[in-house]
Structure 1
Amino acid sequence: MNQLSTKPEVLLGKSLEELTSWIEAQGQPAYRGKQLYQWLYQKGARSLNEITVFPKTFRESVAQQAIGRSQIHYCSTAPDETRKYLLKLHDGLIVEAVGIPTDKRLTVCVSSQVGCPMACDFCATGKGGFERNLKAYEIVDQVLTVQEDFGQRVSNVVFMGMGEPLINIEEVVSAVKSLNSDVGIGQRSLTISTVGIKGKIRELGQHKLQVTFAVSLHASNQNLRETLIPSAQHYSLESLLEECREYVQITGRRVTFEYILLSGVNDLPQHAEELVQHLRGFQTHVNLIPYNPISEVDYQRPSKQRINQFKGILQQQKIAVSVRYSRGLEANAACGQLRVSQQQASQQQLSQQRA
């Protein structure tokens, strides 16, 4: 039997063919590749020792082989049953995932990075710093972890957690393909959300995925966007929208624009009218998201009257629009909030111990 290398491969995220090749490299018959595949993706095995259909001697020989599963470090549950997870990775870093249940489906909001380098002014994740990109298997693991904890099959996945997916595009695309082929979630039930990285929208389009593609716009003009999203200084609103139009041409799929409404900042009638000018004749949909306040900044959520007024202006101009309210507010479910709050609690506890 072949010996494992000193730096063993991680098995999660591999296809049936890749797992079969790995099994054969261990001196086992090819049919065990399918068994391994089923135990990883259907039964959620966290170690090879759990795979009882394998001979005991083989399980013992590969006991140190990395599956690629995280540990639940912390979980909070909101009254609406939304669950927010902090997951501890193999290197001790913490990443967030959210399980959002409804009567008919379970949506998982996954992270693509540990932290985020984009530093959007209204976002808690950017306040917590950036550590590294996630590997595809670490993204797939988030979905499997939430699925196991709920005891319910995941129907939808949104890349709207910590991080900027298009900075980590190779691993994100690999995760999408694994979630589709291995976990069994249709590509049209997967959403990739980006703040906009120059050239990367076009690159994503070239993959010809059938995912829902969402762009975090959050502003109706360049000056305002630069205030809210520092990276916009290097990528004009006009260039972003042009690349989005190219995406539609390449894929034949519309673009969803996410627009967080900040009271008195970007929610005035003139902002809605500016947005109309940009999107008229565009194959798109606008998601208006009333702001979920965080302690680090003073932005506030607009009134329902202001939200409806903004929505009405878009509707009058035949712009497809809907309002999406955040779930799990009591669970610190906005992007990065729980991780930041836990970091602050840990720092406070450490300070008290030193005092």
Structure 2
Amino acid sequence: MIQREELPVIDKASEKTHEGFVPAFDKEGRIDIKSLNEQEILDLLLKLGQPKFRAKQIFGWINKGVENFEEMRNIPRSLIDELNKKCYISVAAIEKKQVSLYDGTVKYLFRLNDGEYVESVLMKYHHGYSLCISTQVGCKMGCTFCATGRSGFTRSLTPSEMICQIEKAEKDCQIRVSNIVLMGMGEPLDNFYNVVRFIQLVTSDDGLNIGVRHISLSTCGLVPRIYDLAEYNFGLTLSVSLHAPNNTIRSATMPVNKKYPVEELLQACRYYAEKTKRRISFEYAMISKVNDMDECAHELGRKLKGMLCHVNLIPVNNVVETDYRKSNKDRLESFVKILEKYSVTATVRRTLGSDIDASCGQLRGKHIRKGGV
């Protein structure tokens, strides 16, 4: 059994880049090889007395989506046996799949190695396919309008488990995913170093090679981590779940606001936009008679005026456990027009998959209630 101290956590050639990432081990003490970069795989193989060129071969096979070492056709049997003893490859099996009759949106419920479940949503746009992936099993944040938070938090996902969602959706639909949205189950910035490693792996020329500008990360507002993410300067789009113009409304729907109030959040967002030169996308779920009034639009416009940003208005999903209802068309149009008076651009998000429980957490929640877990 391989011991944790035998493997380097940090790539010494770029220490800051990999700072904080700790690879995962299963119950048998085997390391999650799919979450390692090529240098770390090389370090592992050198300890096993293998030649250097094997690292590139194995890294290449992993990024082709193999689900076991036996699929690596140019690797000797003796090394495959050794890898099976010391490493494991994360997989995501399709537990349930729903396809929208309206727009072809696909909702997946994936089962992971340890039997936990996460959701992903595949959406087709004119520019290609976007996949909204999960970063945690459940969520700690407790936003009252979100189905995921109501199921509680179990654990964070490894980088490999995030990648598996992409590979399985691509294989199932025989397509290439061009855009990634970290907006599924969980709070990405609460799983910071695993998400950072995921971004590094998925954008690698030898990996899935998805451009970083085709990646969006959504956060409910963990202010310290927004500053940390800015320092990496990836160039990805930061989407902030704002959903309210002030602390009174936001704290009532988003508990995180009690720790990081609106003023601190917007200050961090201004820093991120100035540091990265990337426009912030503010997500704003329009809830009838809660945050969709004209005075809310004016207050929001005043606070965002002058920031490099965009507001994405979202007709809120009707969650069974709440009495929240989506705003009507007139309210949405009025909100947009008021924000434009403050030179803040706003659009209404196109609703996809409304017939297939496309809202994050809904499919997993139903599966749990029916005894599927």
Residues 111 and 159 in structure 1, CA contact (< 8 A), matched pair in contact too: yes
Write the distance in 2 (CA, Å) between the matches of 1:270 and 1:251.
31
Residues 35 and 158 in structure 2, CA contact (< 8 A), matched pair in contact too: no
Counterpart position of 1:67: 89
Write the distance in 1 (CA, Å) between the matches of 2:313 and 2:226.
21
Amino acid at match of 2:156: N
Amino acid at match of 1:34: K
Q: Secondary structure at the match of 1:328?
A: coil
Write the distance in 1 (CA, Å) between the matches of 2:129 and 2:49.
39
Amino acid at match of 2:33: L
Counterpart position of 2:253: 228
Counterpart position of 1:202: 227
Write the distance in 2 (CA, Å) between the matches of 1:204 and 1:100.
26
Which is further off, 97-106 or 220-229? 97-106
Write the distance in 2 (CA, Å) between the matches of 1:36 and 1:81.
35
Q: Secondary structure at the match of 1:91?
A: coil
Residues 195 and 217 in structure 1, CA contact (< 8 A), matched pair in contact too: yes
Structure 2 residues without counterparts, runs of 5 or longer: 4-27
Which is further off, 281-290 or 7-16? 7-16
Counterpart position of 2:351: 326
Residues 302 and 342 in structure 2, CA contact (< 8 A), matched pair in contact too: no
1:145 and 2:154 aligned: no
Structure 1 residues without counterparts, runs of 5 or longer: 351-355
Write the distance in 2 (CA, Å) between the matches of 1:263 and 1:52.
58
Specify which of 184, 200, 222 is matched with residue 177 of structure 1.
200
Residues 194 and 215 in structure 1, CA contact (< 8 A), matched pair in contact too: yes
Specify which of 132, 155, 161 is matched with residue 109 of structure 1.
132
Amino acid at match of 2:74: V
Counterpart position of 2:190: 167
Specify which of 57, 65, 71 is matched with residue 50 of structure 1.
71
Residues 108 and 158 in structure 1, CA contact (< 8 A), matched pair in contact too: yes
Structure 1 runs of 4+ with >4 Å offset: 3-6
Write the distance in 2 (CA, Å) between the matches of 1:104 and 1:242.
33
Specify which of 74, 78, 100 is matched with residue 78 of structure 1.
100
Specify which of 253, 273, 284 is matched with residue 259 of structure 1.
284
1:237 and 2:271 aligned: no
Counterpart position of 1:9: 31
Specify which of 157, 163, 173 is matched with residue 134 of structure 1.
157
Deviation at 1:61, TM superposition (A): 4.3
Give the TM-score taking structure 2 as reference length: 0.88
Amino acid at match of 2:151: G
Which is further off, 63-72 or 280-289? 63-72
Residues 214 and 255 in structure 1, CA contact (< 8 A), matched pair in contact too: yes
1:23 and 2:45 aligned: yes
Provide the aligned C-alpha RMSD in A: 1.8
Aligned residues: 345
Q: Secondary structure at the match of 1:310?
A: helix
Residues 44 and 148 in structure 1, CA contact (< 8 A), matched pair in contact too: no
Alignment CA distance shift 1:38-1:132 (3 Å)? same
Identity of aligned residues (%): 36
Write the distance in 2 (CA, Å) between the matches of 1:27 and 1:199.
42
Counterpart position of 1:35: 57
Amino acid at match of 1:32: R
Amino acid at match of 2:350: Y
Write the distance in 2 (CA, Å) between the matches of 1:203 and 1:61.
38
Amino acid at match of 1:107: S
